[in-house]
Amino acid sequence: MTTVIKNGTVVTADLTYEADVAIENGVITAIGPNLKGDTELDATGCYVMPGGIDPHTHLEMPFMGTYSSDDFESGTRAALSGGTTMVVDFALPSPGQGLHDALQMWDNKSTRANCDYSFHMAVTWWGEQVFNEMESVIKDRGINTFKHFMAYKGALMVNDDELYASFNRLAELGGIAMVHAENGDVVAELTAKLLAEGNTGPEGHAYSRPTQVEGEATNRAIMIADMAGVPLYVVHTSCEEAHEAIRRAKMQGKRVWGEPLIQHLTLDESEYFNQDWDHAARRVMSPPFRNKQHQDSLWAGLQSGSLSVVATDHCAFTTEQKRFGVGDFSKIPNGTGGLEDRMPMLWTHGVTTGRLTLNEFVAVTSTNIAKILNCYPKKGAVLVGADADLVVWDPEKEKTISASTQQSAIDYNVFEGKHVKGLPRFTLTRGHVAIHDGEVRTQEGHGKFVKRPGNGTVNRALSTWKELTAPRPVERTGIPATGV
């Protein structure tokens, strides 16, 4: 059985051209003119692009006394509905729990996924067991990315000595370090002060996490990664201070990447101020939304390449869950949704405004992260042999975002009322048409785990203080036979 996507324009991270795309057994088998198939999908007027990859989700995650409300079924259904065909979720060990134990829990949850997925491993505590298991997580499980929380003091946060030890271990194993970069000690101080002064509403969340706490932690993580010699991926980069640190590191030749979220690109801090409690609390996430200057910085970073990936950090809580924090903003579960809206919102605010080219859109929603995470060109490509994870994008299709029509399981949408132009006509997951003109034909359990091996045993990508200052080996041309 061959499926052919006909009459579309193929758009990849570097090329735009007219061609049909043939698919057999979930894989792309031919790209060219006038292909014939048993099933034909009409892509007239559409762009045929690699399906989106969202490298930052929290599906059914235990967090702040509850669980995030989208699971692998509703979360991946939402993803496909918006043109995203792969998600990477964070497996979170509880303190003292082994890495493989935590992965078993994520394996169990993810059996319901409608699209392919992978995991990052979180390092939420440090000890011999974590040190030992890291090797088999990378080599046997094919998980090469390890996230460290520099915030959430007393819960998920790791200290600098733990960060340095973990980064060193990853360097020798060929892994990639990831950080949630906010100074958790300062956030805890500011939170206590605000609450003591009677500032208990959701806007207190934003005041407790100013851009400086993110800038400081980003700089610190970059320097610690440099000393350890490990590549560093900074999640949810939301402000100029953090972006500036990443930009500078890149210019210095360091392998550092930054990931803005679609929420930070398109929503600002006014969502917290002079709003009703529910409106503001539904938008409480870390880092919080910023002002327009920071948004401009993030857009510029995507254009120049100093920021590499647009993600969502999809971590959806219902209004009822958000209300755990009535009277104390620090108890509002942190997180917002966005899986379904990332691609249409980025298209509408990026491509149709001229901020991003078609090819840049593909790069930041799919190809760049597939390369960073080491699953390219199985994912993130329109190439013969690649998985047929594709989106047939109709630039004329429009809608107004509304919780009443979304796939996500929660009762609101942070983009409610926003008009988007540019939506999937078809979304294909390994050749299966999961979405056709808004009609959902997902198959629960269709999704498979995607292995992402590490980079072998040598990965000294970053310059280190030691390398720079150690005496250079002396080149000897031979020892004279007779005394000089």
The residue among 203 and 313 lying less far from Zn ion, judged by its C-beta, is: 313
Q: How far is the CB of 182 from Zn ion (least distance, A)?
A: 8
Q: H-helix or E-strand containing 342? A: helix 342-346
Size of the site for ligand URP (CB under 6 A): 8
Report if residue 214 touches Zn ion, rule: CB under 5 A. Answer: no
**Could you tell which of Zn ion, ligand URP, none binds residue 285, using a CB distance below 5 to 8 A set by kind?**
ligand URP
Letters for 425-464 (x = contact with ligand URP by CB under 6 A, - = none) are ----------------------------------------
The residue among 84 and 312 lying less far from ligand URP, judged by its C-beta, is: 312
Report if residue 6 touches Zn ion, rule: CB under 5 A. Answer: no
Output the CA torsion 371→435→117→175 (10° steps): 10
**Could you tell which of Zn ion, ligand URP, none binds residue 337, using a CB distance below 5 to 8 A set by kind?**
none
CA distance 474 to 217: 39
- Using an 8 Å Cβ cutoff, are 454 and 141 in contact? no
The residue among 260 and 335 lying less far from ligand URP, judged by its C-beta, is: 335
From the list 324, 288, 328, the residue with the least C-alpha distance to 200 is 328
CA distance 133 to 95: 15
Q: How far is the CB of 288 from ligand URP (least distance, A)?
A: 9
Q: What is the DSSP letter of 209?
A: S
CA distance 462 to 171: 10
Q: How far is the CB of 375 from ligand URP (least distance, A)?
A: 21
- Using an 8 Å Cβ cutoff, are 236 and 287 in contact? yes
SS3 55: strand
Q: How far is the CB of 12 from ligand URP (least distance, A)?
A: 30
First to last CA, the chain: 81
Which residues on neighbouring strands pair with residue 87, listed in sequence order?
54, 117
The residue among 313 and 340 lying less far from ligand URP, judged by its C-beta, is: 313
The residue among 180 and 283 lying less far from Zn ion, judged by its C-beta, is: 180
The residue among 3 and 286 lying less far from ligand URP, judged by its C-beta, is: 286
> By CB neighbour count within 10 A (0-12 exposed, 13-18 middle, 19+ buried), where does 56 fall?
buried
The residue among 29 and 263 lying less far from Zn ion, judged by its C-beta, is: 263
Q: What is the DSSP letter of 449?
A: B
Chain-centre distance for alpha carbon 291: 22
> Which residues within the stretch 60-99 sit at the binding site for ligand URP (CB under 6 A)?
none
> Which residues within the stretch 400-419 sit at the binding site for ligand URP (CB under 6 A)?
none
- Using an 8 Å Cβ cutoff, are 427 and 51 in contact? yes
Spell out where 132-209 has E strands: 145-149, 176-180
Residue with the shortest CB distance to ligand URP: 334
Which residue's structure tokens are 């509408």? 348
Q: How far is the CB of 214 from ligand URP (least distance, A)?
A: 12
Q: How far is the CB of 433 from Zn ion (least distance, A)?
A: 10
Size of the site for Zn ion (CB under 5 A): 3
Among 6, 112, 148, 180, binds ligand URP (CB under 6 A): 180
Letters for 425-444 (x = contact with Zn ion by CB under 5 A, - = none) are ------------x-------
Among 285, 311, 363, 433, binds ligand URP (CB under 6 A): 285
Which residue's structure tokens are 């939402």? 78
Overall residue count recorded for the chain in this entry: 484
Name the one range near Zn ion by CB under 5 A: 24-32, 262-270, 312-320, 324-332.
Answer: 312-320
> Which residues within the stretch 325-344 sit at the binding site for ligand URP (CB under 6 A)?
334-335
From the list 137, 40, 43, 116, the residue with the least C-alpha distance to 386 is 116
CA distance 322 to 303: 35
From the list 269, 183, 250, 261, the residue with the least C-alpha distance to 218 is 183
Q: H-helix or E-strand containing 322? A: helix 319-322
Among 313, 341, 389, 394, binds Zn ion (CB under 5 A): 313
| Phi, psi dihedral angles at 27 (to 5 degrees) | -125, 150
Q: How far is the CB of 411 from ligand URP (least distance, A)?
A: 18
Report if residue 313 touches ligand URP, rule: CB under 6 A. Answer: yes
**Could you tell which of Zn ion, ligand URP, none binds residue 382, using a CB distance below 5 to 8 A set by kind?**
none
Report if residue 169 touches Zn ion, rule: CB under 5 A. Answer: no
Positions touching Zn ion (CB under 5 A) are 180, 313, 437
Site for ligand URP, rule CB under 6 A: 58, 180, 285-286, 313, 315, 334-335
